[in-house]
Chain A
Amino acid sequence: MTDLLRVEGLSVEFPTARGVVRAVADLSFALGRGETVALVGESGSGKSTAALSLLRLVPPGTGRVSAGRVLLDGEDLLALPAAALRKVRGARVGMIFQDPMMALNPVFTIGAQIAETLRRHAGMTAAAAEARAIELLRRVQVPAPERRIRQYPHNLSGGMRQRVMIAIALACRPALLIADEPTTALDVTVQAQVLALVADLKAELGMAVLLITHDLGVVWETAQRVVVLYAGRKVEEGPVATVFARPGHPYTAGLLRAARWQEDGGRLAEIPGTVPSPLALPPGCAFAPRCPLAVARCREARPPSQALGRDQEAACWRAGEAPA
C-alpha cells in the first residue's frame, strides 16, 4: 500500500523575544489510505502546530516551517505555489477544528459557507450547491436542513456546529480529513455521536483521518495507529493495540497509567513534575527529568527512534523496558 500522506523531518519554529521555540522538531510519520492515525500529546507537545503546518496554516509572521516535507500522494505541499495549495485545501484535504465557533464565519449563513466550498472547488452553480449543502447537512444528521441553511452559526448548538464543520470539510469528498481535537469542546454523548458519524463517513468515502487529540480513550476507540509527541518530538509510534498493551516509551506508559483510573480508589500512578519550557529544553531526552527509568546517558544525549519489533518504534535509550 502506498502512503497517502508522508511527513518527513518536519520542523516548525516560532521566534519569540526570549529565543526561538521549536514547536515541532524533526517529525516524521505516514498515513495510509483509509487509515486513522492519532497524533497524541499534552498541551505544548506541538500536535496542533504540526497539524496546522501540514496545510501551511501556521499564520505567517508568527512561525515558520524550517525543515521537512509533507507529501500528499507524493506531491510536497510545502513546496506548492499558493494557488495550487488552495486547490488542495478543502478539496483533497478537509480540516475540522476544536472550536467550530472560531472556524465558522459568524456573519454568513450555514448554507452559504457550505456552498462556498462546492462552488469554488467543484464549480457548482448556486442552486446546485444549495441542494448539495442540504444533502450534506442531512448526511451529518442535522435535523431540518432546509431550515438550517438559512441560519447562522450562533443559532446552533456546539454539536450541530461541529456537524456543519464536518459537512464543509467533507463537501468535496477529500482523501484526508485532519481533525484537530474535534470533540474536546463537546459533551460525552455528543462526542460519541460525532465520532460515530466520522467513522461512518470514513467507511463510506474511504477517507483517511489524522486525529489530533489528548484523549487516549478516543484514540483507543477510533484510531489504528498512534504517534505520541512530547515537547515537540515524536517519542513513540505504532499500532494502537500494540502501543497500549506494550508501550515502548516511559512517557507513553505513564500517560496510559494516568488515563486508566483504577476503580479501587487506590493511589493513581503520577508522572511527577511538569513539561519543560520549550525555551529551556534539557540537553538529552526532554522527558528525562520526569522519567522513572532515566540514567546518566538520558541526560546527556537525545535518544534516536529505535524499532521495537514489527511496526513499533520509540525514542528512548531504554525503549521497551517501561512497565505497562
Chain B
Amino acid sequence: MLARRRGPGVTPPPILEARDLVKRFPAGGGLGLGGRTVHALNGVSLAIAAGETLAVVGESGCGKTTLAHCLTGLTTPSAGRLLLDGEDAAAMLRREPMRFRRRVQIVFQDPYASLNPRRRVADTVGDALRIHRLCPRRARRDRVAALIAEVGLGEEHLDRFPHELSGGQRQRVAIARALAVEPAVVVCDEPVSALDVSIQAQVINLLRDLQARRSVGYLFISHNLALVRHIARRIAVMYLGEVVETGTTAELRRRLLHPYSQALFAAAPEIGRPPGTARPPLSGDVPSPIDMPRGCPFHTRCPHARARCAAEAPALRPVDGRMVRCHFAEELSA
C-alpha cells in the first residue's frame, strides 16, 4: 500500500520471488505407489517487494495454500526456483534456515490451530525472539510487551493462554509472533476468513498500519474478492495451480480479461448490485488436480472455449496492461 505512492511503472526490486514453481504430491498409494500425482502448482511465478501487498485469489484446490507453503519454506517445490533478495532460497533453507525465516514469516487462517494451546502469549511471542537470539533474556518481556502493544493488545494479555482470548485477539498474537523477527515479507494465508465480519475490519486495519510503519511486504491469500480489492496493490488470480491473470488492482478493477477471473469476481455477491445483473454462474465443478484437463485447464468450464483450448495450453502473456493466460484474450477484451 505504501508502494502506491510511488509513480506508476516504477517497480521496486523484489524481496521474495518465485520462478516457475511446481509442486506435485503423490496421491492414492500412500507411499506414492499408486502412481497418481496431484498437480498442486504448475509453474507459478510472482514477486513481492517491500511495503507492497500482492493478493492471490482462487477457489479451493487452486493451489494457493501450497503456494504459501512453498514461499515460506514449509514445503519444498518439485521444480522451479525461489529467490530471497536475489539469492537461491533452496540453498539458504538447507544451510541457514534461520536466515530465511528471519526475512519471511507466515500468518495462518486459524489462529487457534497455529498457537500452542499450552503456552502463554508472552512465551509464544518470546520464543521467536529467543530462537533467533534477537534480544537478551532480561529485556525479552519488555520487547514482547511492546510487540503486543503494537498489535493492539495490552499487558494483561501477556500471561493468558490462547483459549482465554477471542478469535480476533488470537490472530493479533499470531501477527505479533510473525513480526517479532522483523521480517521483510509476511505471507498471510486467509488471515481473517475465520473471523466475524465486525472483527475482520479490525485485523485488516492492523495489518495495514503495521505495513505503513514497517514497510513489510504482504502476500495475501484470500477468497474474499472485495477484501482483496481493498487491501492489495496487485492481484494474481489462480486456477488449478496456475496464475491465469495478474496485474495491478486498478487495471483489474477496470476490466478483467480471463473468463475465469470474470466468472470468479461476478460470482461474489455484492451489496448494492442491481438485482438481475449478475452473470449466469459457471457450470460444473473444478476438475481434479489429479486428472488435469489437456490444453487450457479452464476449457472444461469456459463459456468461450473452442477447439484450440482443448488442444493447446495457453501461455501467460501481456495483454492490455496485465498478464493473462488465454488464447483469445484480445478477442474477449474487444
Residues of A within 8 A of B (CB): 42-43, 143, 157, 159-160, 187-193, 195-196, 214-218, 220-221, 244, 254-256, 258-263, 265, 267-272, 274-275
Contacts and interface: CB of A to CB of B under 8 A. Distances in A.
Nearest to B281: A192
Contacts of B264: 188-189
A215 B200 contact: no
Contact of A217 (B202, B205, B271, B282): B271
Contact of A220 (B229, B273, B281): B273
Given A189-B263, A192-B281, A215-B269, A270 B201 contact: yes
Given A42-B196, A263-B230, A269-B201, 19 more contacts: A42-B198, A159-B285, A187-B60, A187-B223, A187-B286, A188-B225, A189-B282, A191-B267, A192-B266, A217-B268, A217-B269, A220-B269, A220-B270, A254-B198, A258-B201, A261-B227, A268-B204, A272-B202, A275-B196
A189 B281 contact: yes
B137 interface: no
A216 B201 contact: no
18 contacts: A42-B196, A43-B196, A187-B59, A188-B268, A190-B59, A191-B269, A193-B281, A193-B283, A196-B280, A216-B271, A244-B272, A254-B198, A255-B197, A258-B201, A265-B230, A265-B231, A272-B202, A274-B166
Interface of B: 1, 4, 59-60, 166, 168-169, 196-202, 204-205, 208, 223, 225-227, 229-231, 253, 263-264, 266-273, 275, 278, 280-286
B4 to A, nearest CB: 7
A138 to B, nearest CB: 14
A294 to B, nearest CB: 16
Given A159-B285, A217-B269, A270 B198 contact: yes
B205 A259 contact: no
A118 to B, nearest CB: 27
A193 B285 CA distance: 10
Nearest to A194: B281
Given A191-B267, A214-B196, A258-B197, A267 B205 contact: yes
Most buried by A among B253, B273, B284: B284
Contacts of A270: 198, 201-202, 205
Contacts of B230: 261-263, 265, 268
Nearest to A267: B205
Nearest to B224: A261
A281 B60 CA distance: 38
Contacts of A143: 284
Contact of B271 (A159, A160, A256, A268): A256
Contact of B199 (A159, A196, A269, A274): A274
A244 B197 contact: no
B262 to A, nearest CB: 11
Nearest to B271: A220
A181 to B, nearest CB: 13
A274 B278 contact: no
Given A43-B196, A192-B278, A269-B201, A244 B285 contact: no
B197 A267 contact: no
- The 7 tightest CB contacts between A and B, nearest first, are A217-B269, A192-B281, A187-B59, A261-B230, A271-B198, A192-B267, A42-B196
A244 B271 contact: yes
A195 B200 CA distance: 25
B271 A261 contact: no
A274 B199 CA distance: 7
A188 B202 contact: no
Nearest to A193: B281
A261 B231 CA distance: 9
B217 to A, nearest CB: 15
Contact of B200 (A191, A258, A262, A272): A258
A259 B271 contact: yes
Nearest to B60: A187
B201 A268 contact: yes
B49 to A, nearest CB: 16
Nearest to A143: B284
